[in-house]
Structure 1
Amino acid sequence: MLNSESESLDKSKSFSLIVHKLKKEKNFPTNQKIKVF
């Protein structure tokens, strides 16, 4: 249980970082990126 929880937290953090990078570098619309994922 604890391991899966920490993994999901890491995934959400990395996802936020990826979205942030995409928005910063290529100005992707956030809504579209979320729909893709």
Structure 2
Amino acid sequence: MKTNRPQKIAGYAELFVKLHVLTKEQKQDIIQSMKNR
């Protein structure tokens, strides 16, 4: 469990950065793809 948590946090951090960089249209595409998973 302990090894899994930092990866998850890193994933969220990466996603957070991407959301700031991307345009609103691209954000919606990512949100849709995440909901479909």
The TM-score range, normalised by the shorter chain, is 0.5 to 0.7
TM-score (norm 2): 0.64
CA distance in 1, matches of 2:33, 2:24: 12
4+ long deviations beyond 4 Å: none
Identity of aligned pairs, percent?
16
Q: Which consecutive unaligned segments of at least 5 residues does structure 2 have? A: none
Q: Which consecutive unaligned segments of at least 5 residues does structure 1 have? A: none
- What's the RMSD between the two structures over aligned residues? 1.5
TM-score (norm 1): 0.64
